[in-house]
Amino acid sequence: MTSLTSTTPRSQRVPGELIRVGDVHVRVNVTGEGPPLLLVHGLGAGLDLWAPLVSELKGYTVITLDNPGAGASTVPWPPWFMNKYAETLDAVLDELGFDRVDVLGLSFGGMVSQEFAFRYPQRVRRLILAGTTAGIGVTFGNPLALSVLATPLRYYSRSYMAMIAPFLYGGDAHAGSELVAEQSNLRHQMRPSIPGYFAQLTTASTFSSFWYLPTLRMPTLVLAGDEDPITNPLTCWVISKRIPDCEYQEIKGGGHLFLMEKPKLSADLIREFLEREAREDVDTEQKTARRRISRSA
């Protein structure tokens, strides 16, 4: 297993957008200005697939990456357990110089984000989990859709992507749609390797967060597409009921890719959650300060 605790300098950079953390290379991209927001994508997905949402996230420093096994990042072989993906996120944030961030994870990225929030809670200010699952035993998606995830062919064949998109992703992902065409083009630009895809798939199949979700203490928002065949609303609702300080919202007409289907609506929900919580923090501090002043008077 590739180690992240070797003597290789963590800060050693390699050409392009690759950074070296321990013994692995991770492709990253940092854009914008404002509070840092880390986006963690799904199974086999490169950071480029975030483009529609990132364009709507003005006012944030948006951090995206290729999870190991996707895009240009190192293939984790033999497959990792989920804790290694969390460890990689921790190392990437160290390398980029971010101490504490808001985190949004989609699908497999939501699983990684749950693990990261559990193991490194001091680094997660607020957590958003979109179209994801708590893992073994609590995934109630459509069996046909889940079976299609067994192959990365949708990243390699545009015609196959067009054929399976409606029953795999749901929502607006119908054959001939602008969403499917755009996502297909982006997937072809940075496809996962076959070993990399199956490494992530193996990790997902051994993952469970159900037992530790009640220990998460950061404010959390769970988002679900009401037409998502992979992680249907029940799958997401279970997560929301396990986390103490958690809100749950369904996106009407949203499929598994609702963050990219409806980027403006999604960005508005993200911003409202993050900024509302920030305002509440300020209000609490102001009330505390007023109490202190009244007592001293």
Note the pLDDT of residue 294: 47
**Model pLDDT, residue 80:** 97
pLDDT of amino acid 279: 53
pTM (predicted TM-score):
0.88
Quick one: 34 exposed, middle or buried, by C-beta within 10 A (0-12, 13-18, 19+)? Answer: exposed
| Residue (of 15, 25, 104, 110) closest to 69 by Cα position | 25
8-26 average pLDDT score: 66
Tell me how far apart the alpha carbons of residues 33 and 30 are, in angstroms, rounded to a whole number. 9
Catalytic residue list contains 107:
yes
The tokens describing 226, both together, are 């009401």
Ordered domains of the chain (ranges, CATH): 18-142+193-288 (3.40.50.1820)
Give pLDDT tens digits for 198-222. Answer: 999 999 999 999 999 999 999 999 9
Cα 162–Cα 163–Cα 166 angle in degrees, nearest 5: 85
Catalytic residue (choose from 107, 113, 184, 266)? 107
